[in-house]
Structure 1
Amino acid sequence: MQIDPSQHISFQRSVGKSLLILSLCLPFVMIGLFVATGAFDAPGSQGDGLIVGLLCVAFFGFLGIYGTIRLIKNPRQAIEIGPEGITDTRISDRTIPWSKIIEITTWSSRGSSMIMLELEPEFAKSLNQSKFYRAYKFANRLVGAKGHCLNPVGYKVSFSDFSNIIAEYATAHHSPAMED
């Protein structure tokens, strides 16, 4: 893939990939409903399956509904990369300047990889992050992911191309993350 770091690149959300990811919630809702019926309860357990099943239905049902609403409200959501920095509206409406990115790493867990951006602390505090993203970031921190994650899942770009593009732009625009 030819990269020109003086140009802007925009990666659009793939509606097909997003729908596929959202469709994965449905089997878990169905499993939750099945477990809630008590089919797996041990004799005398007093409805433990009901609690687990309802939690499964609530969690995956919420994810599916929330994801569908986000897709309907903003089907053309994009990650934009340019000479000024990175804009990912899932994190913030503000552009993250290359000069404020102090470390770029890759983090993987259970077959999913993400680009992790460590930002200057003062700048990171100034980002206007949504409540959903803050909760997502907190959950990532609990499993060991540090920083702001950029994950191209559901977008029209492969992880390796996405990673290479970020590295090229960060190098070309003198991000502190790329200094030795």
Structure 2
Amino acid sequence: MIDTSKTLTFKSSPKQLILAMIGCDVFILLGILMGLNVFEPSLGLSESPDFLIGYIGAALFFLFSLLIMRRLLTSNGKDVITISPAGIIDTRIAASIIPWQAILNISTWEYQRQKIIVLTVDPLFEQKLSLTRMARMTRTANARLGADGLCITAAGLKTSYDELFGLIVAYRKDRR
């Protein structure tokens, strides 16, 4: 039984963020090697389709790596998610609380074996919510991929998806 009268906080996990950054760095290296045509040296650089794909991939994973590094430097040791009787705060989405009454639905969206919690929030409340720049930039793209709502992930946190999802559902259920 979950005690939904308490306020719970979840901090970032430097270990998970560092592992993600190392993964990005591996893909950056692979992209550069593809761009330099290391895997098919018999083809000239302009003849290889890997040339462009490699450099685009390297650039993309470089951006991901920068975002992870920024998160590592700015959120290390700080509370990222707070779940309370009043609502939920995910500082990656917005600095203000999302009250349980404004959450219309909680669902799971899965992409390449990574599960994401999707909060469907009352549109009138969401319009007033001051989303972070990253949340604003990814909101439309996520909706087109099937995650139409505010997306919360356990990635980079000191908790699992299952634990986080269970807590969010329990707190909301007790407030409806």
Q: TM-score, normalised by structure 2?
A: 0.90
| Alignment check: 8 A CA contact 2:88 2:98 kept | yes
1:62 equivalent in alignment to 2:63: yes
- Using the TM superposition, give the Cα deviation of residue 49 of structure 1 relative to its aligned residue in structure 2, in angstroms: 2.8
- Using the TM superposition, give the Cα deviation of residue 43 of structure 1 relative to its aligned residue in structure 2, in angstroms: 4.2
| Structure 1: unaligned runs, 5 residues or longer | 175-180
- Using the TM superposition, give the Cα deviation of residue 96 of structure 1 relative to its aligned residue in structure 2, in angstroms: 0.3
Runs of 4+ in 1 over 6 A off after TM superposition: none
- Residue correspondences, number: 173
Q: Can you list the C-alpha shifts for 1:2-28, whole angstroms capped at 9, x where unaligned?
A: 521111000111111111112110110
Name the structure 2 match of 1:72.
73
The one-letter code sitting in structure 1 at the alignment partner of 2:116 is M
- Using the TM superposition, give the Cα deviation of residue 70 of structure 1 relative to its aligned residue in structure 2, in angstroms: 2.1
- Using the TM superposition, give the Cα deviation of residue 163 of structure 1 relative to its aligned residue in structure 2, in angstroms: 1.2
| Alignment check: 8 A CA contact 2:37 2:45 kept | no
Q: Percent identity?
A: 28
The one-letter code sitting in structure 2 at the alignment partner of 1:115 is I
For 1:142 and 1:45, the matched residues in 2 are separated by 35
- Using the TM superposition, give the Cα deviation of residue 45 of structure 1 relative to its aligned residue in structure 2, in angstroms: 7.2
The one-letter code sitting in structure 2 at the alignment partner of 1:70 is R
- Using the TM superposition, give the Cα deviation of residue 113 of structure 1 relative to its aligned residue in structure 2, in angstroms: 0.8
Name the structure 1 match of 2:51.
50
1:123 equivalent in alignment to 2:125: yes
| Alignment check: 8 A CA contact 2:6 2:84 kept | yes
The one-letter code sitting in structure 2 at the alignment partner of 1:36 is G
Instruction: For residue 129 of structure 1, give the secondary structure of its aligned residue in structure 2.
Output: coil
For 1:111 and 1:104, the matched residues in 2 are separated by 19
1:113 maps to which of 112, 115, 129: 115
Instruction: For residue 24 of structure 1, give the secondary structure of its aligned residue in structure 2.
Output: helix
For 2:72 and 2:13, the matched residues in 1 are separated by 10
- Using the TM superposition, give the Cα deviation of residue 31 of structure 1 relative to its aligned residue in structure 2, in angstroms: 0.6
For 1:26 and 1:123, the matched residues in 2 are separated by 39
More deviation in 4-13 or 125-134? Answer: 125-134
Q: TM-score, normalised by structure 1?
A: 0.88
- Superposition pairs for residues 11-26 of structure 1, below 5 Å? 11-26=10-25
For 1:23 and 1:132, the matched residues in 2 are separated by 22
The one-letter code sitting in structure 2 at the alignment partner of 1:38 is N
Q: Can you list the C-alpha shifts for 1:33-90, whole angstroms capped at 9, x where unaligned?
A: 1011123568477254332221111110111012102211221242000011000010
Name the structure 2 match of 1:178.
none
